[in-house]
A and B are shown apart, each in its own frame.
Chain A
Amino acid sequence: MTRLTLNDLHLRHPGAERPALDALSLEVGNGEMLALLGPSGCGKTTALRVIAGLIAPDAGEVRFDGLSVLHLPPERREAVLVFQSGQLFAHMDVTANVGFGLRMQRRPKREIAMRVAEALEQVQLEGLGHRCPHELSGGQRQRVALARALVLKPGLLLLDEPLSSLDAHLRTEMRALIRRLQRETGITTLVVTHDQEEAAVLGDRVALMLGGRIHQIGAGATLWNRPADLEVARFFGGCNFIPGRSSGGAFDCALGRLALPHAAPAGEGCLTLRPEAIETGEGENAVTLRVIETRFEGLLTRITAEVAGLRLEALMRAGAARGAMPGQDIRWRLPREALWVLPGV
C-alpha cells in the first residue's frame, strides 16, 4: 500500500488558455480511498494520468511513500490506472486481459492462471474467462478492467470515472463492489468522478477539484454542508447566499438576526444554506417571505420566495410545498445547523 503525495503540480496543455493543473496539492493516506470530485474539464483525469506517469507535469512533485516517482516510467510506478471506458484489449479474451500485467511481469503460467481465476472470482465473473470483450455487458467489462488492475496488487489504484458508462442499477452494484474490494485489499485508491453522490459513497474523504486545483477536502458531508468558499457551495447545488455579518454566534442580515451553529466563522461574509434544508413553520430562525414562483421537479418542488429584495430557494416534498402559492406570504424556518458562513465573500 502506498501513500500518495501531490505537491504543487502545474500543467498546461499546449495551446490551452488555462492550466489543466494549477498548484495541485493532495495527500492520500495508506489504504485510504479518496474521491477526487469535480466538473468536466477541471483537470481530474489529467491529474490521474500524471500520477500514473502517462503525462509529465510542467512543475511539481508526485511522491509515493515520500519518494519522487517523476523519473519513473508508467510501467515501473506500481500505480494502475483503470480507464473510464475500461480499455479492455479487444483482441484478447477475458483471461488474457486480466493476466496481461502478470505476463508483463514474466510470472509463471501456472501462477498467472491461478491469480487470474482468483481475480475473476473477486469480481464475480467466474466462468467468463473465455469470452471476448465484445461479448460482455458494460458492467462486466468494467469488472474485468477492475480485476485486471487488482490482480497486480498495485500499491496505488487509480479509477477514472469507473461508473460513468453504466446505467443506474449497475452503478449501485459496482459502487458496492468497488467499496468492498477496496476494504478487502486495503489498496490505496484514488477515484475520479463528477458525480457528488458517487464521491460521497465511495470516498473515505472527498477532494473537490475546480479549475485545476483542490478547493476543499474532507468528509462528504462536510463539503456538502460546510463549504469552504462560494465555488464549493455552488458546485454542491447551493443557491442561497445572504450577505451580512457573523458575530457572537448569530448572523445579522436582511432577514434579521439568525442563530448560527457552533464554530461558525465570524466577520463579514455570506450566509449559505442548502435549498432542501429549509423547512416550513415556526421556530428558531423563522422568517416571513413572499412566494414568487413554484416549480415541480419530480420528487421535490422548488419554491422561490423573496423578502426585502433577497431571494431564497427551497426544495420541498409535495406535502410541505402544497401551501406555497405565488403571491402568498409563507413562514420558513432556517434550521441553525443548516446555516454556514462563507467569510470574506
Chain B
Amino acid sequence: MIGRGHPWLSLAPALGVIAVLFGGGLALGLAGSFGMGRGGASGDAWIAVLSEGRVWRSLGLSLWIAFASTALSCLIGLGAALLLRRSFPGQGLARLLFQINLTIPHAVGALGILWLLSQSGFVARLSAGAGLIDGPAGFPALTQDRFAIGIIAHYVWKEVPFIGLILLANMQSLGDDPESAARSLGATPFAAMRLVLLPLLMPALIRAGAIVFAFSFGAWEVPVLLGQSAPTALPVLAWQRFTDPDLAARPEAMALAMLIALVSAVLIRAAFAGRNR
C-alpha cells in the first residue's frame, strides 16, 4: 500500500526507473568510454580525448555558453519575478506571456533565433531597410559567431521564464511577511529585498540555475543550429564522434559524454557547497 512500510520500499518504483534509465545509461556510457564490449578495456579513448586541443577549446566554449546563459537567465528571471509578483492590472496576462515560451521546443526556438538574428535575418533586414547598415551582410554576426551570442540568446530566451516560474512559486510560499518584518525593523524596501528576500530565494535560485547550467552545458541541438563549425560546443563534438561512420570513434564519443557529465556534476556540486558554507 502506498505510504505504508519503509520509505525505501515506497520509493523503490521511482528509484528503479532512475537506476535503470539514468544509472544504466551512465554505467554503459562509462563502460563504452573504456572500450568495453569491444574485446577488452583500455583508457585509449580517454587519453585521445584529453590530449586533443580541440576538445579543450570546445570545453572552454561550452563553459562560456553555460556560465553566460545561466548568469543572464538567473539575473533576468529574478528581475522579472520581482516585477511580476506585485499585483497590477493585467498581471495575469503578463504572467501568461512571460511563461508562454516554456511550451516552445528548443529546436523551434533556435530556428526562430536564426530567423531573427542571423545576417540574413529579420533584424538585419530591418536595420538595412532603416538605413542603419549598408546591407544585411553589414549586420554583426550574432549566430554561428565565435562568442556564441545566438546560442546564449536562445538559452536566455528559453530559460528566463523557467527561472522566473520557480522564483515566483518560491516567493508565493514565502509571502510578504519576511520583507514586512524587515521594513518594520527599519529596512528600506531595497535593503529588505537585498538582505532578506534575496538570501531566502537563493537556494531556489541556485537549484534552478544548476538545472539551466546542466542543460546549456550538455545539450547539442541548439549549438548545432546556432553555433560555429570550429570550435564546436563539447556536446556537438560528442555527437559528431558518436555519429561518425568510423565505429572506432564511439569510445571517444562516450568519453566526451562522460567528461560533460563529470564537469557539470563537479561545478554544480561546487555551487551547492559554496552556498552551504
Residue positions of A touching B, CB distance < 8 A: 49, 52-54, 73-75, 79-81, 83, 85, 87, 89-91, 100-101, 104-105, 148-149, 152
Contact = CB atoms under 8 A, between A and B. Distances in A.
B186 A152 contact: yes
Contacts of A101: 185-186
Given A91-B200, A104-B191, A81 B184 contact: yes
Contact of A83 (B177, B191, B202): B177
A91 B181 CA distance: 14
A105 B178 CA distance: 18
Give 3 closest A-B pairs by Cβ, nearest first.
Answer: A104-B186, A101-B185, A87-B181
B183 A75 contact: yes
10 contacts: A53-B184, A54-B184, A74-B180, A75-B185, A75-B186, A80-B185, A81-B184, A87-B181, A89-B196, A91-B199
B185 to A, nearest CB: 4
B185 A100 contact: yes
Nearest to B196: A89
B10 interface: no
Given A73-B183, A81-B181, A101-B186, 9 more contacts: A52-B180, A53-B184, A54-B184, A80-B184, A85-B177, A100-B187, A101-B185, A104-B186, A148-B185
B216 to A, nearest CB: 28
A104 B187 contact: yes
Contacts of A79: 184
Contacts of A49: 180
A87 B197 CA distance: 12
A54 B176 CA distance: 10
Contacts of A52: 180, 184
Contacts of B199: 89, 91
Contacts of B184: 52-54, 74-75, 79-81
Contacts of A80: 184-185
A32 B87 CA distance: 38
Interface of B: 177-178, 180-189, 191, 195-196, 199-200, 202
Contacts, number: 60
A54 B183 contact: yes
Nearest to A89: B196
B200 A90 contact: yes
Contacts of A73: 183, 188-189
Contact of A104 (B178, B185, B200): B185
Contacts of B177: 83, 85, 87
A74 B176 CA distance: 14
A116 to B, nearest CB: 13
Contacts of A74: 180, 183-184
Nearest to B178: A87
A75 B180 contact: no
A75 B200 contact: no
B29 to A, nearest CB: 39
Contact of B178 (A54, A75, A89): A89
B111 to A, nearest CB: 43
A105 B186 contact: yes
Nearest to A79: B184
Given A89-B196, A90-B200, A91-B200, A75 B181 contact: no
Contacts of B189: 73
A160 to B, nearest CB: 10
A139 B211 CA distance: 39
Contacts of B181: 81, 83, 87, 89
B195 to A, nearest CB: 8
A142 to B, nearest CB: 13
Contacts of A75: 183-188
Contacts of A104: 185-188, 191
B263 to A, nearest CB: 29
Contacts of A152: 185-186
A233 B199 CA distance: 48
Nearest to B181: A87
A81 B180 contact: yes
A104 B181 CA distance: 13
A345 to B, nearest CB: 41
A115 to B, nearest CB: 13
Contacts of A100: 182, 185, 187, 195
Contacts of B187: 75, 100, 104
Given A91-B199, A104-B191, A54 B180 contact: yes
A73 B185 CA distance: 11
Nearest to B191: A104
Nearest to A104: B186
A54 B180 CA distance: 7
Nearest to B180: A54
A339 to B, nearest CB: 45
A323 B177 CA distance: 55
Nearest to A91: B199
A49 B195 CA distance: 21
A113 to B, nearest CB: 17
B181 to A, nearest CB: 4
Contacts of A148: 185
Nearest to A48: B184
A150 to B, nearest CB: 11
Contacts of B188: 73, 75, 104
Nearest to A148: B185
B214 to A, nearest CB: 25
Nearest to B185: A101
Contacts of A89: 178, 181-182, 196, 199-200
